């Protein structure tokens, strides 16, 4: 038979543990992105300042890092595509000019 005190200790949890495990206070990544871009109203922005910076939510911090990395990757990809576009336009102009001659 299981000791009743041991059973109670196994079932003891805190509200904080439940919130962290279930991520009740973590916002959607789109809201975190809006917060990082500074486009949230004062109330939600203040909450996220607390949640991410003061409470140091590891899940939200990881999401933000991922969003920032994706943003940098997208910017780099966009720059590469623009370079490719310019190169194609230039070579096409040269080709068409040569065809006229």
pTM for this model (two decimals)? 0.56
Q: Is 85 inside any structural domain? A: yes
Domain assignment present for residue 4? The answer is no
C-alpha–C-alpha distance, residues 33 and 49, integer Å? 13
For 37, the domain range is: 13-100
SS3 of the chain: the string is: CCCHHHHHHHHCCCHHHHHHHHCCCCCCHHHHHHHHHCCCCHHHHHHHHHHHHHCCCHHHHHHHHHHHHHHHHHHHHHHHHHHHHHHHHHHHHHHHHHHHC
% the chain with pLDDT above 70: 88
Q: pLDDT at position 11, please?
A: 65
In a domain, 47, yes or no: yes
Examine residue 59 and state whether it is found in any structural domain, yes or no: yes
The domain tally of the chain equals 1
User: Cβ(33)–Cβ(60) under 8 Å?
Assistant: no
The predicted-structure confidence for 22-61, as pLDDT tens digits, reads as follows 777 899 999 999 999 999 999 999 999 999 999 899 999 9
What percentage of the chain has pLDDT greater than the value 90? 37
For residue 8, being part of any structural domain is answered with no
Does 72 map to a domain?
A: yes
pLDDT at 74 over 90: no
Query: What confidence score (pLDDT) does residue 24 get?
Result: 75
């Amino acid at each position: 038979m299981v000791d009743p005190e041991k059973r109670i200790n196994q079932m003891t949890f805190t509200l904080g543990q439940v919130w962290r495990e279930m991520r009740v206070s973590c916002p959607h990544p789109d809201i975190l992105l809006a917060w990082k871009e500074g486009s949230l109203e004062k109330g939600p922005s203040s909450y996220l300042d607390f949640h991410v910076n003061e409470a140091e939510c590891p899940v939200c911090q990881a999401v933000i890092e991922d969003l920032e990395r994706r943003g940098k990757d997208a910017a780099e990809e966009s720059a590469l595509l623009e370079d490719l576009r310019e190169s194609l336009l230039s070579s096409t102009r040269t080709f068409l000019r040569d065809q006229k001659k």
